[in-house]
Amino acid sequence: MQLAPALRTTAELRFTQHAPTLITRLSQLYATRFADDVQLKNWCLQLMQVMADALQARPAGLQALDQQRSQQPDWFTREDRLGYCAYTDRFAGTLQGVIQRIPHLQQLGVTYLHLLPFLKARAGENDGGFAVSDFNQVEATLGSMQDLEQLTQALRESGISLCSDFILNHVADDHPWAIAARAGDAKYRDYFYHYPDRTVPDQFEATLGQVFPQVAPGNFSYIDALQSWVWTTFYPYQWDLNYSNPAVFLDMTAAMLQLANRGIEVFRLDSTAFLWKRPGTTCMNQPEAHWILQCLRCITEITMPGVLLKAEAIVATRDLPAYLGDAQRGVQECHLAYHSSLMAAAWVAVAEQDTSLISAVIAGTPQLPPNTSWLSYVRCHDDIGWNVLRPEASLQATDVEQRLSAVSQFFAGQGDSFASGASFQASDPAAVHGTVGMAAALCGLSRATDAEQSRTAVQRQLLLYGLSFCFGGMPLIYMGDEFAQENNEDYRSVAAHQYDARWLHRPQWNEALATRSQTAGNAAHLCSSGLQRLLQWRRKLPQLQAQAARRLLHTNSSSLLAFSRGEAHAPFVFIGNFSDQPQTVTLSVLAQQLPSAQPSGSAISGCWKTPDGAVPPDILLIPAWSQCWLIASNLSATGVN
């Protein structure tokens, strides 16, 4: 292989550093899968070739980025990082159209854009692009690979990294591998899990969960052409890949590296929890699933260290940290991971007007390993899944089912609720599964009957976003939320969408709303100006970088959530009021819980400030659904929003 000498030297260095872990993990996963050593050696050589090809083909601009980021491995954890998430077609029509929207992203201060799946997807129903037919082609209606390269470059020049889904758990049933399997090709049959009868599927089903229990019950689909039951965790047309087959690992690695060379800087690794199956388990979070991710990490470290891996694992809080590796054991895995239980728990706090569950989630969230970050968010394109909260909910309630079901029903607008979402995938309204709806609708905007109620709804949404800005992660704005956009009912008449209520919160970009948000006197403006204000503060607060330590603070109200960040500097304190009543907090009592606090009993009200420079009273009133950002001890600061 011909590589420029400088590149060769750095690549060799990186290889020396990461190859030992890579080899260990690959042997654990695959050594026993080969008939003899010759086959094993050939496979290893093929993998090396895939890596060498990717390195060789890596454009100079991306190599420079790799170099730069290797020297600053915490680049994505800073307080000025901000994500934005959208569907290409709904946001801007096409990939070229996204280029036209860069000014909007820049105005918000976005540094990271997650475009939902844009690769060639199955025709007809395709789970919003999550059923990929070709990793090497862009969906024709959205553009071409050339457009993708132009977009990544334009974004990069604007300081924005493109994040793309890499849907590695499954492919569409019309992906060439599935087509070959159906045609009887033995090699490709084994890219999937297939069983001639129900014996093995039934054994697995005994311990498996269900992602879409209503429209896609069970985890296996009978495929006539294969005369077999094929593993389909999600929809029947999404065939799970068999990662116990080394050929699958090899081909998927090649697909990911080739996409990275188009300029994708972050991969959202979809459904990472499901990558390995083991009888008698939920087939989620298995050690081998982590080893696969650790191998992908080693491979990107060697060939393209500027690229980030983001785990999408919608799992209980206790299972999340492993996706970010383990610093004590020297294990590196993904750089980023969605904190889905924090997101869901924040919504529980809104419904219950009680912060005990979210406090338990925060208490159960350990310090991040170096150079990693949470992805903190309020809404995304999926439902809010309540099941991830069962462990925390069961610590506090005897009837977990009843508790989470009450939350779900609240957001479906039952009783005296202000929300107007819907339950997801539950035919029985009392069953606990998920909730769909845009943040603004769940916060009460759609049912507001006067300006005061609209303002309160926006306050709730800003409270949730404020929490995601302060928690300690890279926050993500979901398209439309910057204008408090509401639900979109159109999906009911679209054949490919009508069975999946998540389309309720996947609206089209609304130009009229965007324009309206620029003039005062409406909810869109209140929301967008409120977000901008919070983001301006955030960018000035090094205490809010992802890595800064967090400490939960005790208050005398069950509706308040308070925590400090960054005690190495002047501590920052977030106080959120999750209730429709004003609450008071005694700042000196909060200060006593900080390590730098004054001796117990002494009034330190002089140690806090509000934005206009005023010193808040020691007993501070926090209005309903409001938040307060404060800096203790060095007296610089922010205030009540």
116 or 594, CB closer to ligand OTU?
116
Closest alpha carbon to 297 in 253, 337, 250? 253
Among 173, 265, 270, 383, the active-site one is: 270
Region 93-132 residues binding ligand OTU, contact defined as CB under 6 A: 127-128, 130
Is 377 one of the binding residues for ligand OTU (CB under 6 A)? no
Q: State yes or no: residue 271 binds ligand OTU (CB under 6 A).
A: yes
Query: Minimum CB separation from ligand OTU for residue 57, in Å?
Result: 28
CA distances from 25 to 44, 185, 250, 268, 276 (A): 13, 29, 14, 22, 14
**Residue 411 makes contact with ligand OTU by CB under 6 A:** no
167: contact with ligand OTU by CB under 6 A: yes
Rule CB under 6 A: say whether 507 interacts with ligand OTU. no
Structural contact between residues 274 and 169, judged by C-beta atoms closer than 8 angstroms:
yes
DSSP designation for 556: S
What are the distances in angstroms from CA 505 to CA 347, 380, 491, 497? 16, 8, 10, 12
Question: Which C-beta is closer to ligand OTU: that of 125 or that of 312?
Answer: 312
Q: Write down the least CB distance from residue 165 to ligand OTU, Å.
A: 8
From CA 195, how far away is CA 219, in angstroms rounded? Answer: 12
Task: List 231's β-bridge partners, or say none.
Answer: 220
* Rounded Cα gap, residues 334 and 327, in angstroms: 12
Q: For residues 273 and 320, which CB has a smaller minimum distance to ligand OTU in the complex? A: 273
Told to judge if 37 belongs to the known catalytic residues of this protein, a careful annotator would answer no
The reply to whether 385 sits near ligand OTU by the rule CB under 6 A is yes
Chain positions 9 to 68 lying near ligand OTU, rule: CB under 6 A, are none
Q: Who contacts 462 (Cβ-Cβ below 8 Å, separation ≥6)?
A: 527, 530, 531, 534, 627, 641
Question: Least CB distance from residue 198 to ligand OTU, whole Å?
Answer: 24
Residue from 79, 139, 147, 270 binding ligand OTU (CB under 6 A): 270
Q: Which is the catalytic residue, given 125, 312, 383, 567?
A: 312
In single-letter form, the type of residue at position 145 comes to M
Minimum distance of ligand OTU from residue 384's CB (angstroms): 9
Our separate counts of H helices and E strands in the chain read 21, 24
382 belongs to the binding site for ligand OTU (CB under 6 A): yes
Around Cβ 303, how many Cβ atoms within 10 Å?
A: 26
Question: Six-digit token pair at 523?
Answer: 């909810």
* Closer by beta carbon to ligand OTU, 344 or else 526: 344
Q: Are 108 and 84 in contact (CB under 8 A)?
A: yes
Between 286 and 633, name the residue whose CB sits nearer to ligand OTU. Answer: 286
Question: What is the rounded distance in angstroms from the CA atom of residue 552 to the CA atom of residue 359?
Answer: 7
DSSP 419-464: ---EEES-SSTTS--EEE--HHHHTTTTT--SHHHHHHHHHHHHHH
Tell me: does residue 312 bind ligand OTU (CB under 6 A): yes
Binding residue for ligand OTU (CB under 6 A) from 383, 392, 482, 567? 383
* 312 flagged as catalytic: yes
Closest contact distance (angstroms) between CB of 167 and ligand OTU is 6
Pick 502 or 565: Cβ nearer ligand OTU: 502
Q: Is 46 helix (H, G, I), strand (E, B) or coil?
A: helix
CB of 502 to ligand OTU, least distance (A): 6
Q: What distance in Å separates the CA atoms of residue 174 and residue 45, rounded to the nearest whole number?
A: 30
Report the 3 state secondary structure along 563-608. Answer: EEECCCCCCEEEEEECCCCCEEEEHHHHHHCCCCCCCCCCCCHHHC
Binding part of the chain for ligand OTU, among 185-193, 300-308, 312-320, 463-471 by CB under 6 A, reads: 312-320
Give the residue, chosen from 314, 345, 426, 620, that forms a contact with ligand OTU under the rule CB under 6 A: 314
Number of residues lying near ligand OTU (CB under 6 A): 17
CB of 602 to ligand OTU, least distance (A): 49
Three-state DSSP class for residue 619: strand
Compute the least distance from the CB of residue 274 to ligand OTU, in Å. 7
Nearer to ligand OTU, 314 or 360 (CB): 314
Give the pairing type, strands 194-195 and 550-553: unpaired
The least distance separating ligand OTU from the CB of residue 163, rounded to whole angstroms, comes to 13
Contacts of ligand OTU in 466-495 (CB under 6 A): none
Distances (CA, A) of 252 to 21, 170, 186, 350, 584: 19, 10, 19, 41, 54
Binding mask 207-246 for ligand OTU (x = CB under 6 A): ----x----------------------x------------
- Does residue 173 bind ligand OTU (CB under 6 A)? no
**Catalytic residue positions, numbered:** 270, 312
Which residues of the shown chain bind ligand OTU in the complex (CB under 6 A)? 127-128, 130, 167, 211, 234, 270-271, 273, 312-314, 381-383, 385, 502
